[in-house]
Structure 1
Amino acid sequence: MKNILFICVFIAWGISCSAQQKPEMYFTDTSSGNPVAKDPKIVFFKKSYWMYYSIPGKDMSGWHIGIAKSDNLKDWKKAGEINSGAEYEKNGLCAPGALVRNDTIHLFYQTYGNGLKDAICHAYSTDGINFKRNETNPIFSPTGDWTCGRAIDAEVVEFQGKYFLYFATRDSSYKIQKQGVASAPIKTSFNKKDWTQLTNTSVMEPTLDWEKNCVEGASCIKKGKYLYMFYAGAYNNEPQQIGVARSTDGIHWERNGVKPFLENGKEGTWNSAESGHPDVYKDKKGQYWLFYQGNNTKDGKSWYLSNLKLNWKNDDWPIIQKQ
């Protein structure tokens, strides 16, 4: 009987340890004094993978952007930071989106700490670390009675011969977070005058129970005839979880069912408080990855970044590859 009890205790201990086990990619940034890295965005540039992400200032005051490099998408080394450099950024900047065009990285980010006036900005770099601001910044804010005028969480993707800019905004009550879209010509300089808001309404807003009052953090990738959008549903730690939808025109979206694509982790795991703010990425080998943020403290003082490999079911909907 004692042997049976010992075996049961040992098995339970093993399950607990397995639940606490860290994923292969487990990255954070301690420059603020706390382990915090959020909002990952991956690009390949100058023979390396680059990751741009949000980090707070000292004592968690304000936000700016961290930069890390990797050769394998798992092991990352910090390479620099992008700090406030213009008057409109004085309260902070964060939530980077990025793309590579020719020999230049184009960064799309939001101002921070300005409430209704937070907007999308653009900067560019030929070395991945030192960025020049667009002289027409901020380059985009939404208009119409469907929005409060705020724009955050920029994602810019080439689709159907132009660039689509997806952004999160809120309704006039400042309660419901939802997605909008604008576009610019393919030869754009990404200046303010080049962007046209495509709809006078949201293109995606929370409708499912798990999305609660928020759909944000869009990340898009083209595959076949579809543009796929991975997005974060619910505000941070409610828990935030990840959904996926697809579109043939970049405006009208079909969700992949009513459940989250990636749920928060079970109690005791590193991401039990949420799995949120996704970035979908196709590497140089043709493999697809889903990067995302997570934590298990719910207090905003710890955030880690990780990834999962994706497959595609009948070249149709993405699925998470079994480890």
Structure 2
Amino acid sequence: MRKLIYTLLFSFLLSGIYAQDTPKMYYTDTSSAGIMIAKDPVVVRFRGKYLMYYSKQMFQNNNDGMLGWNIGIAQSKDLYHWSKIGEIKPHASYEQRGLCAPGAIVKEGKVHLFYQTYGNGPKDALCHAWSADGVNFTRDTTNPIFSPNGNWTNGRAIDAEVYFYRRRYFLYFATRDKAGEIQKQGVATASANTDFKRSDWKQASDESILSPALDWEGRCIEGASIIKRNNKLYMFYAGSYNNMPQQIGVAESDDGIHWRRLSDKPFLRNGLPGTWNSSESGHPGIFEDENGETYLFYQGNNDKGKTWFLSNVKIGWNKEGPYLISEP
């Protein structure tokens, strides 16, 4: 009996230590009519703190109808506890129906934000803005800076991700087929000395670089997020439309244009019934800290999209690619 008590006590203490060593992040934004909405996370380290940009919906005060999308800004000291510090609202004429799905990089002491317009169907396009403080942004005068062309696309561009690799900037985006039914990935490039204006971006492929092909990917691949490891690029991507469920997969590339999947199964699945992310684990944002540690940020919910939360998991690496260190 005494041995059993000691065993149970040790297990309890060990579980407490484990919980302290593996904190959990759950963040949402309630600033619009008290509704919990935060999606599409991207994180950068800037001036000694972490900044997270994300999509947030705008509702009428009486919660009678959604008005559009803005971009929220939160900060953190530890990647787990976040507080909202700002919001980017429609300003230019091309943003009047909304702006969302941010991508972000830090270059020469400024945060560069890449985002999409909202509510224009096939005419939604990618835009660029920059900030010296990470909160107040100046729009690029050439906005929108990119939309794709060719028989493989309907001209739409969303979910921007910019990554520097082999002396070029790669701009990854999601688009749709001519019928507007299949969502898939494309890419454009610009030279190392670009200031990201419209004329600098050249479409790098006249076809999709990654289209849905697996059962769990449904009719959608979107939300590409890129990191370099093992002298190659890895793309974390969202497969299937929201709440179908959307889950996260991984592909790799030697040149940034031609991609191959690491597995025919999701890297990060949606949660089991009753868990906070049972409806989906989607829209990845891979973040590499200054010490080389990496965290996969993503969105989830358990009510088919009535609310949305953001979380992260710590990622490890070996010669085969990424693996989960912490549990969702």
TM-score, with normalisation over the residues of structure 2? 0.90
2:119 is matched with which residue?
A: 113
Q: Distance in 2 between matches of 1:318 and 1:279?
A: 14
- For residues 168-207 of structure 1, give each alpha carbon's deviation from its aligned partner in whole angstroms, at most 9, with x where no partner exists: 0000010000000000011101000000001110000000
Q: Distance in 1 between matches of 2:320 and 2:265?
A: 17
State which of 124, 127, 130 in structure 1 corresponds to 2:136: 130
Given the superposition, is the C-alpha separation of residues 263 and 281 from structure 1 closer, same or farther in structure 2, using an over 3 Å criterion? Answer: same
2:196 is matched with which residue?
A: 190
Which residues of 2 match residues 81-230 of structure 1 at below 5 A? 81-230=87-236
Contact conserved, 1:265 with 1:273, CA < 8 A, in 2? Answer: yes
* Equivalent AA in structure 2 for residue 58 of structure 1: F
Q: What's the Cα RMSD here?
A: 1.1
2:322 is matched with which residue?
A: 318
Q: Distance in 2 between matches of 1:31 and 1:115?
A: 26
State which of 292, 302, 306 in structure 1 corresponds to 2:307: 302
Q: Distance in 1 between matches of 2:294 and 2:86?
A: 26
- For residues 30-71 of structure 1, give each alpha carbon's deviation from its aligned partner in whole angstroms, at most 9, with x where no partner exists: 012210000000000011000000001124320010000000
Q: Distance in 2 between matches of 1:137 and 1:290?
A: 29
Structure 1 residue 284 displacement after superposition: 2.1
Structure 1 residue 301 displacement after superposition: 2.2
Q: Distance in 1 between matches of 2:31 and 2:291?
A: 32
Structure 1 residue 208 displacement after superposition: 0.4
1:15 is matched with which residue?
A: none
2:50 counterpart of 1:39: no
Contact conserved, 2:128 with 2:139, CA < 8 A, in 1? Answer: yes
Contact conserved, 2:313 with 2:326, CA < 8 A, in 1? Answer: no
Q: Distance in 2 between matches of 1:269 and 1:164?
A: 36
Q: Does the residue aligned with 2:159 lie in a helix, a strand or coil?
A: strand
Q: Does the residue aligned with 2:72 lie in a helix, a strand or coil?
A: strand
Deviates further, 56-65 or 258-267: 56-65
TM-score, with normalisation over the residues of structure 1? 0.91
2:27 is matched with which residue?
A: 27
2:254 counterpart of 1:268: no
Deviates further, 249-258 or 89-98: 249-258
Structure 1 residue 285 displacement after superposition: 2.3
1:49 is matched with which residue?
A: 50
Structure 1 residue runs of 4+, over 3 Å off? Answer: none
* Equivalent AA in structure 2 for residue 293 of structure 1: Q
Q: Distance in 1 between matches of 2:23 and 2:219?
A: 29
- For residues 71-130 of structure 1, give each alpha carbon's deviation from its aligned partner in whole angstroms, at most 9, with x where no partner exists: 000000100000000000000000000000011000000000000100000000000000
- For residues 257-301 of structure 1, give each alpha carbon's deviation from its aligned partner in whole angstroms, at most 9, with x where no partner exists: 100000000000000000000001111222111000000000x32
Counting aligned pairs with the same residue, the percent is: 59
Contact conserved, 2:23 with 2:80, CA < 8 A, in 1? Answer: no
2:262 is matched with which residue?
A: 256
Contact conserved, 1:280 with 1:290, CA < 8 A, in 2? Answer: yes
Q: Does the residue aligned with 1:39 lie in a helix, a strand or coil?
A: strand
Structure 1 residue 225 displacement after superposition: 1.4
1:279 is matched with which residue?
A: 285
* Equivalent AA in structure 1 for residue 299 of structure 2: Q
- For residues 125-169 of structure 1, give each alpha carbon's deviation from its aligned partner in whole angstroms, at most 9, with x where no partner exists: 000000000000000000001000000000000011100000000
Q: Does the residue aligned with 1:164 lie in a helix, a strand or coil?
A: strand
- For residues 233-260 of structure 1, give each alpha carbon's deviation from its aligned partner in whole angstroms, at most 9, with x where no partner exists: 0000000000000000011111111000
How many residues align? The count is 300
- For residues 6-53 of structure 1, give each alpha carbon's deviation from its aligned partner in whole angstroms, at most 9, with x where no partner exists: xxxxxxxxxxxxxxxx97100000012210000000000011000000
**Unmatched segments (≥5 aa) in structure 2:** 1-21, 61-65
Contact conserved, 1:155 with 1:166, CA < 8 A, in 2? Answer: yes
Q: Distance in 1 between matches of 2:105 and 2:134?
A: 11
Deviates further, 287-296 or 221-230: 221-230
